[in-house]
Amino acid sequence: MALTLEEADAMIEAAKKAGVKMMIGQTRHFDHRYVNIKEQLDAGKVGRPVFIRRAERQFLPFPPDAWQWDPKRGGGVILDIGVHATDLFRWFLGHEAVEVYAIAKSVREAAKAAGFYDHAFITCKFDGGGIGFAEAGWAYPQGFGRALSRSQRHAQPAKRAIGAGGHPSREYRNIVCTGRGRATGHGARRRTLGFPQPDNHAVGA
């Protein structure tokens, strides 16, 4: 939303004064693949989620003078794509984060020149006891995983799994759950809840 809490508060106040609606572009909430997983979690089909692992990996051809590399205009890889991972943690777990730890590095030459991070690992602990671990990266070689933003999704508890298809080398997320639930699926070898994707790959637990 903004680089500082003060800027975010100012945006909220401006929207209130103008009498207009303002929302954050958390596009995953409107993507049927993520909605499908959220519905399965809320229905208790695989138990209560306690750990979520999520990777956002991209290689986008930003020119050296792009705002993405400017610390005063962009939040680096953490705020650009890492925010989608941490938002999924909040959404799927249904709680707010109480502790956050991150470590980041400048890998690409443009990132080094700008003194900006293009690869990061983020760990979030939530008030309900859940844990989220995210990798956010612009540093992978171009074409890694055969796509810029294609993704693999699945939830994997000890004995139950939910998921959405994708190739194992692409982005992934992993959700570990406790409790009992009945899992049925579309083509996955282990008890997997999910739905087929256009590329017809099935993701097992």
- Give residue-wise pLDDT tens across range 39-48: 988 988 878 8
CB 119 within 8 A of CB 151: no
Under 8 Å between Cβ of 93 and 128: yes
Q: Is the model's pLDDT at 168 over the cut of 70?
A: no
The answer to whether residue 202 sits within a structural domain is: no
Domain range for 132 is 26-139+148-193
Tell me which of 72 and 153 has the higher pLDDT: 72
Q: Compute CA 146 distance to the chain's CA centroid, rounded to the nearest angstrom.
A: 19
Residue 43 within a domain: yes
- The enclosing domain of 111 has a CATH number of 3.30.360.10
Question: How do strand 97-105 and strand 161-164 relate by DSSP bridges?
Answer: unpaired
The verdict on residue 54 lying in a domain is yes
Taking 80 as the threshold, does the pLDDT of residue 169 lie above it?
no
In a domain, 16, yes or no: no
Least confident of 87-101, 129-143, 161-175: 161-175
Distance CA(87)–CA(99), nearest Å, equals 14
Is residue 68 assigned to a domain? Answer: yes
Res 179: pLDDT? 64
Identify the weakest region by mean pLDDT among 53-57, 74-78, 142-146, 198-202. 198-202
Greater model confidence, 32 or 18: 18
More confident site: 198 or 45 = 45
Could you tell me which residues come within 8 angstroms of residue 136 by beta carbon, excluding any fewer than 6 positions away?
A: 56, 77, 78, 80, 81, 82, 85, 119, 120, 121, 122
Reported as a pLDDT band with limits 50, 70 and 90, residue 8 is: very high
Domain assignment of residue 9, yes or no = no
Estimate to the nearest angstrom the gap between the alpha carbon of 13 and the chain centroid. 28
Is 66 domain-assigned? yes
pLDDT confidence of 87, banded at 50, 70, 90? very high
Question: In the chain, what percentage of residues exceed pLDDT 70?
Answer: 72
- Whether residue 124 lies inside any domain: the answer is yes
pLDDT at 150: 40
Mean pLDDT of the region 129-143: 88
**Would you state the pLDDT for residue 125?**
97
pLDDT band, very low/low/confident/very high, at 181 (cuts 50, 70, 90): low
**Total domain count for the chain?**
1
